[in-house]
Structure 1
Amino acid sequence: MTEAAPTTLADLRAEIDRIDSEMHALLMERSSIIETLIAIKNTQVSGSAFRPGREADMMKRLALRHKGLLPLDTIEGIWRIIIATFTYVQANYSVHADVSGGDAAMRDSARFHFGFTVPFVTHEDARAVIKAVADSAGDLGIFRMDQGASAGIWWRDLIGSDAPKIIARLPFIERPDHPAGTPVYCVAKPLADAAVREIVLYAARVERWSEVLRSGLAQHLAEVSASAADGSHLSLLVAASGEVDQSAIRKALEPAGLSDFSEIGSHAARFAVKSVR
């Protein structure tokens, strides 16, 4: 015989208490698994526990299956704290942020995506964030995607096999009224086995700009995300589909007098949903 659904206020409160207890037990069970994972992988020494591709996929699946009264903002925030905190206990790290465009938005982004357990360190610009990450054992850095001309050619600081790389674009889930919706890049030391390459980013230097350059890149699912004068040349930040071979991107830039071309990171493609509250 099917057990009757709770009908009284006391019954409903008892059900809530039962669910709360089970959720806590599941979190402790997750903690036990992470403890075993630490022992197996020996990650308690660096930031190698961060897996941006897996996190982007987890957040996408979360948004796709979510329904009901609880706002997506809340459920996303809860999951971000769970993921980021368990990542932190696997391998302690700090989040460095460029607050030159305003402290509040970057602090909101850091706390929403990484919680309050992870230390938050502020810096005066994106280049300072990149340097701090480079000098760390395994920290992360975040800064606005829409850096102005005064920010300098920060993407060139990501060139080199040992230099930090862009590993994520936050937020993982995009919507018009996101509580931490400022688009930011996340940088870390290279994570070759953890990178997601749906969008690949390149630093390029050319002699001149032309609309032919723009159309040539568009033919290969690529675009210029940022540009800045670089002496007598022009430095470009190029974003391209990971499905396109980099030789095609390089060839599209050659008519503009390409003199330098380097991959500087990658991230998951944008995943947008309508507002769910």
Structure 2
Amino acid sequence: MTLSIQRIHPVVGTEVSGVSVGSNLDSGSFQQIYQAWLDGGGLLILRDQELSPEEHIAFSRRFGELDPLEGQTVMPYLLPGYPEIYRVSNKVKDGVKQGRQRAGTYWHSDNSHKEYAAKASLLHGIEVPPYGGDTLFAGMAAAYQALSGTMQRLLGGLRCIHDFEKAKSGSFKNETVTDRHLNATPAISHPLVRTHPETGAKCLYLNAGVVTHIEGMTAEESAPLLDFLYAHCTRPEFVYRHRWRRNDLLVWDNRCLMHYAVADYDGVGDRYMHRTTVWGDRPV
């Protein structure tokens, strides 16, 4: 098999084939894949990846240190014996959910409510329905570049408050979120425009699930600008829609992308996925 790397979208998305990342992937091939990840807008689509949990974890660690998930709100959905892997699924076995079903059904960047937000997420589609369950990705660098110079200068001085308390009544309203969880991740301020630490690109940095307001403004004052930005950066020209195939492995860069999980597969078929998260740095 020969490593093939092909750009599939002008803003977001590079498809990689002809390689098994679960085998002894040599450093040269990995560097090609990693560079394609950076050059291709921060999204890799690796096809036909038969991965064991150990192989998934090992490949994830080549991108950096993994976020420890034990004790976090997703703990009920961790893969037994593999605390690095979070299960996303609509399957139920003996009355027990095999993963979190409606995860990420809003535009967001993973773990932006933390001081050290996620660098990368790796999601492996082990079982996918015949249709439905697509994942959308928005290129935040391209969206920033498309803004007027005046708007770029305005946003450059602003910061947003990311507060997991908002998720408690929103995306996590059906999950167990304790005061201990909230105390572990108090509200934090991040720049509205962050600089990608590896490419140098300026990127809008937002999360509809946890951003409550712009620092120094009320929520009401913030809303018109935030609403404009969410609408702007999710315009069709900035968005890639991924239609899953069995054994797809997606690697996305949370520093320059938002994503949205479409929950339209109820009654269509089983969906079972494994996800790891690579720890990042403090957004600047």
Task: Sort the TM-score into its range (normalised by shorter chain).
Answer: under 0.3
TM-score (norm: length of structure 1) = 0.26
Rg (Cα) greater in structure: 1
TM-score (norm: length of structure 2) = 0.26
Larger fraction in helix = 1
Larger fraction in strand = 2
Where relative contact order (Cα < 8 A, 6+ residues apart) is larger, the structure is: 2
